Amino acid sequence: MNYALNIALAFLISASLSTFLGPRIIPMLRNLKIGQTIREDGPRSHLAKTGTPTMGGIIFIISLTVSILLLGKLTPDVLLVLASTLSFGAVGFIDDFLKVVKKRNLGLRAYQKILCQLIASALIIAYGFYFKEGLQEFYIPFMGNLTIQLGIFTIPFFLIVILGTVNAVNLTDGLDGLATGISIIVFSTFGVMLSILEKWDLSILAFALVGALLGFILFNYKPAKVFMGDTGSLALGGALASLAVISELTFFIPLVAGVFFVETLSVMLQVGYFKLTKKRLFRMAPLHHHYEQKGWGELKVVWSFWAASVLFALTGLLVF
């Protein structure tokens, strides 16, 4: 009962903090002229969003951190996930800062971003191995309680998982409320799984993040008053990757977070197909832009992707 109470309190504190901070941080971002610049090669309808405050991810990052410090048990697992969230959030913050101050829409150069992410990943993996004695086992979806060990391939596998997950969330953050809503569904699902596994410290953290995101989406839903920016999307990716890895649920990421996975796959297919044929497989990638270009309204795309995320999440729970 105490665990359930702690989960509820963490959720309510995070949600309340996020709701409280939004109307205070958003005007600060606007006054500092921290506004979003829109990709010139993106959908033309997005040009109207130019100047909308970005870096709003700090709202739910602060809310999560304060909530966990107040109520969460600061176990090594929780510290790992917080470190991952803050580390990748810091990389995103630098990227957003360069976009705003330098007026360079792409922010960090590709090699700089990958290098920063590799450093953050390496620190997290080293920390996890020190406290978790190797993190060798992984639950396999559709296989009951079956687990596998990867031996010497564990470290490169973790690097792929962390970098892939972090950038998948980043790619999905392209429409008002899209990545936020999907993240709420994904972290709620992992929170339930962690409760079933009785990993209560991580479950508290997962639901604290859900609460923080629910407060944030009040300002991020169309028409968005603030964008999470790379500060938020990279932080969410770091939280998701580390949460799944540390709880041995790594192989559930492509299932529970299936929309993130599909969005990334659409970009890979688009690039590969274009290199082979000099033609586009989709009208625009990531996939949510493809449907926009087909004439779908932004809300229709967002709600459809949310619905797909719910189906992925339910499937994950059913086979868990």
pLDDT of residue 103: 65
Structural domains counted in the chain: 1
Six-digit token string for 136 = 């060798």
Contact yes or no for 182/220 (Cβ under 8 A): no
141-179: string of b/e by CB count within 10 Å (b at 16+)?
beeeeeeeeeeeebeeebeebbbbbbbbbbbbbbbbbbb
In a domain, 84, yes or no: yes
Q: How far apart are CA 174 and CA 158, in angstroms?
A: 26
Residue 311: inside a domain = no
Residue ranges making up the domain that contains 169: 2-135+142-250
In a domain, residue 164? The reply is yes
- What are the pLDDT digits (tens) for 125-169? 887 677 665 566 677 776 666 667 777 777 888 899 999 999 999
Give the whole-angstrom CA distance, residue 267 versus residue 191: 29
Most distant CA atoms of the chain, gap in Å: 60
Question: Which parts of the chain register pLDDT below 70?
Answer: 1, 35-50, 72, 101-107, 128, 131-137, 142-147
**For residue 37, what pLDDT is reported?**
63
Provide the pLDDT for residue 4.
87
With tokens 């995101």, the residue in question is 213
DSSP state of 102: S
d(CA 177, CA 264): 18
Q: Is residue 264 part of a domain?
A: no
| pLDDT for position 288 | 93
Question: What's the pLDDT at 171?
Answer: 94
Which residue, chain included where needed, has tokens 């922010």? 107
Predicted pLDDT of residue 43: 60
Residue 225 within a domain: yes
pLDDT given for residue 76 in this prediction = 86
> Does residue 7 lie within any of the structural domains?
yes
Rounded-to-integer distance, Cα 3 and Cα 7, Å: 6
82 token code pair: 């917080």
What is the C-alpha to C-alpha distance for residues 185 and 210, in angstroms, rounded to an integer?
A: 8
Within-domain flag for 227 = yes
Domain-located, residue 68: yes
At 135 the pLDDT is 62
